[in-house]
A and B are shown apart, each in its own frame.
Chain A
Amino acid sequence: MSTITTADAGLAAKPATSAMRIRLRSYRRAAVSILLAAAIYEALARAGMFAPALLPTIPTILRTLFSMLADGTMVWHASYTLYRVLFGFGLAMTLGIPLGILMARFRRVENFFLPLVSALMPIPSFSLLPLFLLWFGIGNMTTILIVFYASTFPILFNTWSGVRSVNPLWLRAAGAMGADEHKMFWKVIIPGASPFIITGMRQGFLRSWIAVIGAEMIAASQWGLGWVIFDSKEFLSTDIMLASVAVIGFIGFVFERVVFGALERATVQRWGMVRIAKG
């Protein structure tokens, strides 16, 4: 049998550094794109075509940003917004993932919920905002529910698709090895559907992040990034608006690239279930 073992020797040992290099390169590329866009903006702001109060320069925005960070107001705004997003997003995952799995596993559940999902999914969460305002008033309840509505469907839908596309051989093999319904669920279906579930979470988070800003403009008072942007228009504070927009972009970027990126690298990428694009 020596032929087999020698042939195998070169396999499985992959260069560990290549993934690191690829990641660094992608960060560098991202930085170049962002810096270039910033330079164009700065040139426009200084060109004098618009009133400086309407189009503040980047140094002005940064000064405002740092002073708001220093006095803590921006931290509070961001914390409120994050709290609402994470709360609503957490609820959406709690409902969306189990329901998506049940729909894919049981015909009756699917028969009942699929028409509902299809009817509710295309409704923009903002169209419910006035209704929620009447029901729950201004505050966390309304904003959290808007976030919840916005992010449930992508999570639900992707989970449902993911479970339906779990390789039947895995189920067969696990069944032959004595997996009961409970073990099948946790040890086979969830990891087997994980590329889709993670995609659903990514899309869901993005939708919540968009929804929360809009909801806060109307249904928040005193705190929240959406609220502070909307409130700033009363005082023509475009620097505060843009500083808040920068914070929104930054937090969104961190979640998308760092949090979900790390989740993917630690799971589905490591397992070879999704691959990094080459070339």
Chain B
Amino acid sequence: MPQIEVKDVSLVYDTPSGQVQGVKDANFTMEASEFLCLVGPSGCGKSTLLNIIAGFLAPTAGEILIGGKAISGHGLDRGVVFQDFAQLFPWRTALGNVAFGLEMKGVPKQERDEIAMQQLRLVKLERFANSYPHHLSGGMQQRVAIARALAYNPAVLLMDEPFAALDALTRDDMQRLLADVWRETRKTIIYVTHNVAEAVYLADRVVVMTPHPGTVKTEVPIALKRPRDPLSHEFLDYQKQLLQDLGEGVSKAA
């Protein structure tokens, strides 16, 4: 049985200028521990779809099953990482941020600090446990956010362009780090990005979405062994193929 099933999910927005179809009949399934990237141009509904899976938005049609059960609202089975650095609580240290979910679960202080420390070690930030977010760089803040989303041990990690606001060099480091974290934790990850190279580097499978309305156009399994070499022919071939898939979608819509 697949771990996540997205079944005929649609979402219609009410805007002042009428109804807008954000997502239309999205369908895909995921196995446990799979790394899936949702790729598409801006406005294709990929972030909206992620927010529906996270439970922040309710679909107007269709349903999402996690472990065979339909979700309603957000839950501790899913951890979420956003693009904006400001997602961390500025009044809590890195450790305090990571421990937040455990605190909500009622885990005693000493135990949750220990777990939070392990998570910080996983993202190589244990030395900054007592720093407040405003003393950390953007990349470090995003790593704290990843540790925070993993700390209460959700089965699924949902990531909405978490590295899009970082410079290219830091982004490369972050992608390597995320690949390591995924290998160690074996989480099921849905990762939204508009960056094709990023998708080929990270994903087991790429779901390509096209806008107006936001639909799943095609799925591309990435059959490259890890760690992947972004300069290899095969890597570039995958990039080319994805860009083609995206390009067709965009020109058709335009």
Contact = CB atoms under 8 A, between A and B. Distances in A.
Interface of A: 1, 3-5, 8, 11-12, 14, 167, 169-170, 172-180, 183, 187-188, 191-192, 194, 267, 270-273
Contacts of B78: 176
A176 B54 contact: yes
Interface size class of B (residues with CB under 8 A): 35 or more
A271 B100 contact: no
A174 B105 CA distance: 12
Interface stretch (B11-19, B61-69, B128-136, B190-198): B128-136
Contact of B140 (A11, A173, A177, A272): A11
A203 B87 CA distance: 30
State the majority secondary structure of interface residues on A. Answer: helix
B238 interface: no
B100 A175 contact: no
B89 A176 contact: no
B86 A167 contact: yes
B139 to A, nearest CB: 7
B28 interface: no
B136 A12 contact: yes
Contact of A175 (B74, B105, B173): B74
Nearest to B145: A173
Contacts of B74: 175-176
A178 B76 CA distance: 6
B134 A271 contact: yes
A191 B89 CA distance: 9
| A-B pairs with lowest CB-CB distance, top 9 | A272-B134, A177-B101, A191-B91, A178-B104, A12-B131, A271-B91, A12-B135, A271-B90, A176-B80
Interface string B138-149: 011000000011
A261 to B, nearest CB: 18
Contacts of B90: 271-273
Contacts of A173: 80, 82, 87, 89, 148
Given A11-B137, A173-B148, A188-B89, 9 more contacts: A4-B124, A169-B87, A174-B104, A176-B74, A176-B80, A178-B152, A194-B91, A271-B134, A272-B135
A172 B137 contact: no
B32 to A, nearest CB: 20
A270 B92 CA distance: 10
B84 A177 contact: no
Given A177-B76, A177-B100, A178-B76, A270 B132 contact: yes
A271 B132 CA distance: 6
B180 interface: yes
Contact of B79 (A4, A176, A180): A176
Contacts of A3: 173
Contacts of A169: 82, 84, 86-87
8 contacts: A5-B124, A11-B128, A14-B135, A173-B80, A180-B104, A192-B91, A271-B132, A273-B90
Contacts of A271: 90-91, 132, 134
A143 B103 CA distance: 44
Contacts of B127: 8
A270 B128 CA distance: 16
Interface string B103-118: 1110000000000000
B140 to A, nearest CB: 6
B254 to A, nearest CB: 32
B107 to A, nearest CB: 11
Given A11-B137, A14-B135, A177-B104, A273 B91 contact: yes
A184 to B, nearest CB: 9
Given A1-B180, A175-B74, A11 B139 contact: no
Contacts of A14: 135
Interface in B3-21: none
Contact of B105 (A11, A12, A178, A187): A178
